[in-house]
Structures are given as structure tokens and as C-alpha cells.
Structure 1
Amino acid sequence: MLLMSNPSPTMEMGRSNLDSEREFPQDFRCPISMELMKEPVIISTGVTYERKNIEKWFFSYKKKTCPATMQNIENFGVTPNHTLKRLILLWQNSHSPSPSSSSSSSPLPSYKRDEMVSLLKTLGSSPFKVNSLKKLREIIELGDEMKLDFIILGGLDVLLQLIVQILSDCSDFMVFRACEEALGVLQHLPISEGDYGIKVLEVLSKPECMKSMSIILQRGSKDARVYTITILKKLTQADFNWNVVVNEEGIGMFKSMLELASDEISMKASSSALQVLIKILDSSKKSRSRAIEAGAMCTLVELLPDSNRSKCEKILLIIKLLCECADGRVAFIEHRLGIGAVSKILFNVSESASKICVKIFSLICCFHPTEKVLEEMMMYGAVKKLVVLLHMSGPSSIKNKVLDMFKKHGNSWSRYPCFPSELKEYLCIHSRH
């Protein structure tokens, strides 16, 4: 009987591969088979599986649920998770025992990953957190692989600890700076894109995280405020509960966002702030009351005259949302430039802007048709421009709103000499003697 003193190369290779697989992160394994994924695909619930396993689950076993979450599914389509596949291949290459692997693939990702691990450990003990965070940001800016690797290595938990620490040590300058830099890292991470984006969204949904961001938005450096508004803008594309912002932070955060919206130097920050405001105000009427209390109407009306097309449309949309509340309509008509500013925009910016202008005037005329309001609409040229809209060919919701305004208030406007006589006949308005 021949005894083998040493295992064969094949056995060694199999053992090496098995040991290597045991070291892989849990997120690289299919939730069904718990094996490393070769063709990862995302299903409608956002969970990633090995293609053959999930297709067998759906089409061979006739299951109509997500195996991991047990949610009912109607859409059985799958989308290749190219980013995760690249990350798995990157991990395999960086951990391969083959001497040739180092020459056939770039050593940069593996080297950067090791540096990332070291920096994350340093953040737990070193007082020089700001420099470590700046280096981390440089690494994750290299690409999606680095961002996902950062999440897998537990970077989110580290960032959260640094961000919320200002709630207890707000007066400590280094703690405050570390929070600012942590937000600088966080702004580069994906939100709600696959399994990893959902983890980022879960962190941002924590009230303590939002409270810390509110503090930075109000008291942070200019760069830190831009980081924060960038994160909030990303949240507008996700399924985020904005009540966290309204209920917990309210007026203070609105004031900060309005200040950013007024920023003439950073157009990107200004546009992002307006986009976030639109999303928040569209989510609830309570948020509109808070914004009005924060002085939103005054700020927005005064921004209108000097705004470009894109900014103007966003501002008008916010004004329209605020005018859907009684307090907002009062704030609008009490501002000495309100009616005049919106009248000037009508026909002078874009078709979209003009439609929003009509909706604003429709709300004002419906709920606050005071003599002063109707007179200002005539004096600032709004009525004259609205007459033009009546000559639009074919029916439209905007034309109907204009016609309704004239039917309700045509008698008041007809007293002015500039009111078209043919319009009186069209609207069956009788002159008063």
C-alpha cells in the first residue's frame, strides 16, 4: 500500500480555494446557497442573488417572494449587479496566491484597500481624525469598488459615530471638524442603489444623524454645509421620510437651506438647496408652515428677479407650494414685490415658469381676492398677460384657470380703461354706471 506523505497539488489548490472562500465577506455570498456569487443579479426588492439560484427559485419552484425578505413580488426581472461582480473579482485577484496575479492586475485597489483598513482603525484611537478622513475621501473617490469596499469594511459605523458625537461634544473644535470631514466622506457614497445604498440610507434615516447634519448646516463651514446639502439632495431621489427633518429640526434647518439658496457664489449649492426644499415641502403641509415661519416667502420673492431660468422655475414651484397654505398666501400678498415679481416672470422666462405663475395667481384670486390684490395684478401687467393666454388654441388646464379668474373678477378689472372691450362681451361683463 502506497502512502502519500504530502497532499497532491490538486488537493492543495482545492484547500487553498476553500480557505480563500471562507475569508470572503458575507455580502459576496448568495443568500440562497451561501456560496460566492459569479453572476450576481438584483431583483425588484433590491436584494442581490446568484443568477441561477434566483431563477430556479422563481421559475422552477414557482415562488413569488423574495427569499431574503419574504416580500411578495410581481416583477420577476433581474438586473446584473456589475459593480458587485467587479468587486468580487477584485477581491479574488488581490487574495490570489499565484505569483503572476500581481503582474497581471493593478496593485492599486489592493494597496488602497489595505490603507483604508489602516485608516479606519486609526479613526478609533488617533486624535488626528481629520487627516485620516481626508485620506479616506481621496480613496473612495477612486471609484465604485472603493466605495463598496469601504461599506463592507464597516466604514459606515465609523462615520456615524463621528457624525453624532457633536451632539454630546458640540463645543469641542476637533470633534466638530471630524464631523464635517465625515460628512465629506459620506456625500460620495451611493444612496438606495442596491444592498449597499440601502445601508447608507438606513444610517441617514437615524434621527441623531439628521440632527447632527442640521447643526452642521446651520453652524458648519461653507464646505461642510455644501457636503450636507449634497447628501440631502441625494435623499430626494430615495424613499426617505422627510418628517424626520420637519419634526426634529424644523425652522432652523429651513433657515439654513434658504441661506444656501441665496448663495450667489456656489450655484450648485443654491440649486441643491432649492431642490431639497421642493421635496420637503411637497411631502407635507406641516413642512410648509415651518418654512413660512422661517421666512421662506420673503427670501424667495426677492431672489426671483435676478435668477436664471432653472433657478427661477424652482423658486416659483416653491412659492406655489407655499401658496397652497393660507399662511403662505398671506405672506405672498403682504410682500410688496410678490405680485409684481411673478407678473414680470409671466412670458419672460419659460413656458414651464409661466404655467406656475398662472397657478400662483389662480390660488391668490381664489382665496384672497382683495381689492388691493386685484388692483396690483392690473397695475403690474398680470391681467394684460393673462388675456393673451385666453387666445391659446384648444382647451387646456391653464387656459381654464385663466378663464375662471376672469369670470370671478372680470367686473373688478373691467373698471380700468385698459381692459379690452371685446373681453367684456366675451365674458358677458356689463359696465357699471
Structure 2
Amino acid sequence: MAGRFSYSLRGSQISELGWFVLRLLVPSRSRMDHSSLVGVRTLWSSKVFDMDQSLRNKSYPGNSKTKKGPDMEPEVPSVFRCPISMELMENPVIISTGVTYDRRSIEKWFFNYKKTTCPTTMQTLSSFDLIPNHTLHSLILSWRSQRRPALSTPQSLELTSIISAMESSPFKVSSLKKLRSFVPHNHAIFISCGGVGALHRILTADASDFTAFRACEEALGVLNSIPFETDSASMDLLSEPGSVKTVLTVLQRGGSEARLHAITILRKISRAKPSVADELHQCADVFKSLLDLLCDEVSGKLSSSSLDLLLDAVARSKTNRLKAIEAGAVRVLIELLPEAGRHRGERTLLLLKRLCECAEGRSAFADHGLGIAAVASRMVRECNEETKLGVKVLWFVCSFLPTKKVVEDMMSCGALRKLLGLIHADGTSSAKEKALMMVRMHGEAWRQSPCFPVELRAVQY
């Protein structure tokens, strides 16, 4: 029994188990200095790797040392191996010390083992952010593609079987659900085996019936779980008009989860190819759908993602801004602003500012009875990001559309008091300069109002 157990363990599992036991036995630097600890680990991993190779050769008669040909397992470059598991990295990420690990392994180190140090340097970490190492990931994908015949792993064989079954069957949803559970930890194999191409064929097929549409929803779920944006060939496929059209259709008609996946995928595509976001206006009612999702009180994540996609869409395209304004974006943003948190408030004000750069946006803002009050409620005496954005919105309206109602609302809704507080605050900033210009622009009208602060009537601006 013990013999069978030892043969059933992979070398990487033995290495990880041994390293974990070593860390339990030597929990602090006081027992062993860092260089010694790393040296022990390096030696341990090397010995385990040699042992694993020996066990494989003994366990499987076909794996002789003299075996040649395309089925021989290639030697993985050390830089492609995770320092923890010693396996080829599927999803390389960088931690704050600058060391790259496989995401699955380092997340286990942090969250399962509750460690607060870098496994390699043993430095105590103040941040546990994981930054994707796109450069290394691209190199690994390139290396795998060049050696694809030699990488006939059980995972790749299983994946090929699932994809073949999916493409040969008119009922693809069950196969796609299998892919969704399989792909997150094997996405490099999925991409190298042409999986994105198979999903692309589903997305560009006729999705007019319910079964085909459900297959499109599931296909987006698979895509959402892989970093396809790191592979240029995959990005080219998914940015084609046929693919984008289907993603937009799911965004408008799909379930909540599928809509979230659609938005996430659109944002990934538009970051690499901004023209995709610039041309959203070509899809009828897409902005109305995004605004409906923005108001969704059930799913905060879906609402937040909709706001992010709207920001991407109006960043460069004036046509998109006009379409968003026509769909009622200014009204929706004004009504959501008072209840928004700080981060959400900043993004809402940024979107409102971009819309108010258009005459149509300023007109919609001025016509709304609560516009100035909503913006003023986000401003404070300190010149933080919300205050800066709020001043810019008020500046656009007061400078280019200073109707009598706008000037009166600035006084009655407390916006003027916020501007005066900003002017008298310490320091200099463009927001402070704009506030001063607005006061000079409409100061005479405001001084005549009984609501103007008495202590400031004699102050010259």
C-alpha cells in the first residue's frame, strides 16, 4: 500500500508537501537565516524532481531513458516553472517583491496556508495584489505552441475530447459547462488547442433559437474565465464584427451572469482595440440596456461593470456621447449620484463630466431640477477627486449655459457656498481657479440674493 501511494504522488505534489512541512518546522528566521532556508528548498526541489523522473521511468515501462520522438515530455525551462509547485505556470502573476508565481499556487500560499511572506525571499508583504505577468505568459504560450506535439498531456487529451464532442453535437450547452469547470486551471492548454476558435464559431453561428442563444451565453462564460487578451490570435477572432455583435446581443437579452460576462469581455476587447468601444452606437438600444443595468439594485457588480463600459464608450467617441445622452444617461447619473459611495461617485461624476462636454449634455443637465444639487452634495472644502470633477461639471454649465435657473440653483442648492469654501482653502489647483472664475462671472447676480453669505459681501473676487 505504501509503495503504491508513493508512486501515485506527482513530484510537484511531494515538493509542495515537503516545502510546507519544512516551513512548519522552521517557522521563523530566528531558527534559520533566509539564504539557508532558500538553499534547503532549492536542494529539496531538485532532489524531488530527480526522484520523480526516476519513479516515472520505473513505473511506466514505455518511459525509458532512451526513448526518442515526439511523445517524449520536453524539459520545461526553469524560468517557466512556478517556484512553489515547480510545474509549468498556467497563469503567472507577480507579487509585490517582484517574484513571479503561478496564481493557483500563490493563492494557496496566501489564503489556504495563511502566509504573509514571499515564499522565495521570505520578506513580509504589505500588499497581496497579484499582477498578471503578461510577458512571461506570452512566452510560455509561444513555447508550448512550438512543442505542441510533445505536450499530449492528459489535460490536453481530455480538452480535445470535450471540444470535439461540443462541435459535433447540436446541443452544445452541456459540453460548454464541462469546459467552464475545466478551463480556469488549464487555460494555456485551452488556447493552444484552438479552444478560442471553437468558441468563436459558436458566437458567429445563427443564434436565433433558444438553444443556440444559450450556447452563446455559456461560451461567454468560458471566455470570461481565461486571459484571452494575452493572445493576439484570440483577440483578432473575438474582435471581429460577428463576435462583437453576438456579445452585444447577450448584453441586451441574456441573463444577469451572461450580461456581466459580456460586459467584461467587451472591456477586454476594447482595451486592446479601442475602435470596438467607439462603435457601440451602431448597436441599437445598447446604451439604454447599459443604463438599465446601471440602475440594477440586485447586482452591484453588474451595475459597476456597466458604468465602467459606459466610461470606455464615451471616452473618445462623440457619437457615443450623443447616443448615451439620448438614452437618458444624464438623468440617470444625476439620480444615482447622491447615494453613490466614494469610488462609485468619482466614476459617476467623471461620466457626467464627459457628457457635459457636449452642448446636448449640458442642456440635459440644466433641465434637470436636481442636477446642481446632486453635484454640489459630492463637493467638499478639500480638493479631492470628487470635488475636482464636480467643479468641472458646474464650470461647463455655468460657462456655456448660464440660464437664470442655473444661476439661481447655484445659490439655492449650496453650490456657491462650496465654491467659496474651495476658494478660501489653502493651496492652488485648477479646480480652485475655475471656482474663482465662476464667482467672478456671476458674482453680481449672486450678491443681490438674500441667500448670499453676509460675511462675504464685502470680499472682492
Shared fold, TM over 0.5: yes
Residue aligning to 2:153:
110
Residue aligning to 1:208:
242
Q: 1:90 to 1:231 in 2, by over 3 A?
A: closer
Verify: 1:419 aligned to 2:452, yes or no.
yes
After TM superposition, the structure 1 = structure 2 runs for residues 6-405 of structure 1, keeping only pairs within 5 Å, are 16-20=67-71, 81=136, 84-85=139-140, 110-142=153-185, 146-165=186-205, 168-170=206-208, 172-193=209-230, 196=231, 198-235=232-269, 237-242=271-276, 245-249=279-283, 251-347=284-380, 351-405=384-438
Q: 1:191, CA displacement in angstroms?
A: 4.2
Q: 1:394, CA displacement in angstroms?
A: 2.6
- After alignment, is 416-425 or 327-336 more displaced? 416-425
> What one-letter code is carried by the residue in structure 1 that aligns with 2:264?
T
> What one-letter code is carried by the residue in structure 1 that aligns with 2:184?
E
Identical aligned residues as a percent: 39
> What one-letter code is carried by the residue in structure 1 that aligns with 2:301?
K
> What one-letter code is carried by the residue in structure 2 that aligns with 1:290?
K
State how far apart, in whole Å, the 2-side matches of 1:402 and 1:256 are.
36
Residue pair 1:123, 1:132 contacting (<8 A) in 2 also: yes
> What one-letter code is carried by the residue in structure 2 that aligns with 1:115?
E
> What one-letter code is carried by the residue in structure 2 that aligns with 1:151?
I
Q: 1:110 to 1:83 in 2, by over 3 A?
A: farther
Residue pair 1:263, 1:269 contacting (<8 A) in 2 also: yes
Residue aligning to 1:44:
none
> What one-letter code is carried by the residue in structure 1 that aligns with 2:234?
V
> What one-letter code is carried by the residue in structure 2 that aligns with 1:405?
M
Deviations 1:115-174 (A, max 9, x none): 2101111121112310100110111112xxx11211111111111111122xx341x110
> What one-letter code is carried by the residue in structure 2 that aligns with 1:177?
R
Deviations 1:313-362 (A, max 9, x none): 11111111000000000111111221121122222999211111111000
Q: 1:189, CA displacement in angstroms?
A: 2.0
- Matched position secondary structure for 1:186: helix
Residue pair 1:164, 1:208 contacting (<8 A) in 2 also: yes
Give 5+ residue unaligned stretches, structure 1. Answer: 1-11, 29-35, 41-77, 97-108, 429-433
Q: 1:225 to 1:404 in 2, by over 3 A?
A: same
Normalised to the residue count of structure 1, the TM-score between the two structures is 0.72
Q: 1:248, CA displacement in angstroms?
A: 2.7
Q: 1:91, CA displacement in angstroms?
A: 11
Q: 1:405, CA displacement in angstroms?
A: 0.2
Residue pair 2:156, 2:193 contacting (<8 A) in 1 also: no
- Matched position secondary structure for 1:223: helix
State how far apart, in whole Å, the 1-side matches of 2:135 and 2:403 are.
60
Instruction: Calculate the aligned-residue CA RMSD, in Å.
Output: 3.3
- Matched position secondary structure for 1:81: helix
> What one-letter code is carried by the residue in structure 1 that aligns with 2:376?
S
> What one-letter code is carried by the residue in structure 2 that aligns with 1:158?
A
> What one-letter code is carried by the residue in structure 1 that aligns with 2:263?
I
Q: 1:19 to 1:95 in 2, by over 3 A?
A: closer
State how far apart, in whole Å, the 2-side matches of 1:375 and 1:326 are.
20
Residue pair 1:230, 1:269 contacting (<8 A) in 2 also: no
State how far apart, in whole Å, the 1-side matches of 2:356 and 2:400 are.
10
Residue pair 1:205, 1:244 contacting (<8 A) in 2 also: no
Deviations 1:166-193 (A, max 9, x none): xx341x1100100110011111221433
Residue pair 2:163, 2:195 contacting (<8 A) in 1 also: yes
Residue pair 1:362, 1:401 contacting (<8 A) in 2 also: yes
Deviations 1:268-319 (A, max 9, x none): 1111111111111112212101111111111111111222222111111111
Q: 1:349 to 1:140 in 2, by over 3 A?
A: farther
Residue pair 2:239, 2:269 contacting (<8 A) in 1 also: no
Q: 1:260 to 1:158 in 2, by over 3 A?
A: same
Deviations 1:356-375 (A, max 9, x none): 11110000001010111110
Deviations 1:89-116 (A, max 9, x none): 89989958xxxxxxxxxxxx93332221
